[in-house]
Amino acid sequence: MTKDELINTGRITDLKTFLNLRPKENLHVDCTDIVLYKDGHYIQMLKSGWYFFDGYQHATLEAMEELMWKKFYNNSTN
């Protein structure tokens, strides 16, 4: 999967809906919404307007998508 293909699967989901689907997830205390991607990966949206993924925070969604893509999909075939 290319990074653009991954990014195009992202859909914003409100926190309540996400927790109904995945009640055992351990989310950041300031999480307000979730950007949910193919294969169930997600980036948290924080009340500060920043984004949170895998222990990292950044002001742009693009930076977190890059981090997520590298963690799960970046290999020699992409």
Question: Does residue 47 form part of some domain?
Answer: yes
Whether residue 78 lies inside any domain: the answer is no
Count how many domains the chain has: 1
Cα–Cα distance, 46 to 78 (Å, whole number)? 30
Average confidence (pLDDT) per 10 residues, the chain, 78 residues: 92 97 96 96 98 97 96 71
In this structure, the dihedral spanned by the alpha carbons of residues 47, 44, 18 and 8, taken in order and rounded to 10 degrees, is 120
| pLDDT at residue 76, rounded to an integer | 46
In a domain, 26, yes or no: yes
In a domain, 66, yes or no: yes
Task: For residue 13, tell me if it sits in a domain.
Answer: yes
Measured distance CA(15)–CA(64) in Å, rounded: 18
Question: Does 77 fall in a domain?
Answer: no
For residue 38, give its domain range: 3-72
Determine contact, residues 48/70, Cβ cutoff 8 Å.
no
In a domain, 39, yes or no: yes
The pLDDT score that the predictor gives to residue 74 is 83
> Does the residue 61 lie in any domain?
yes
Could you tell me which residues are beta bridge partners of residue 33?
14, 45
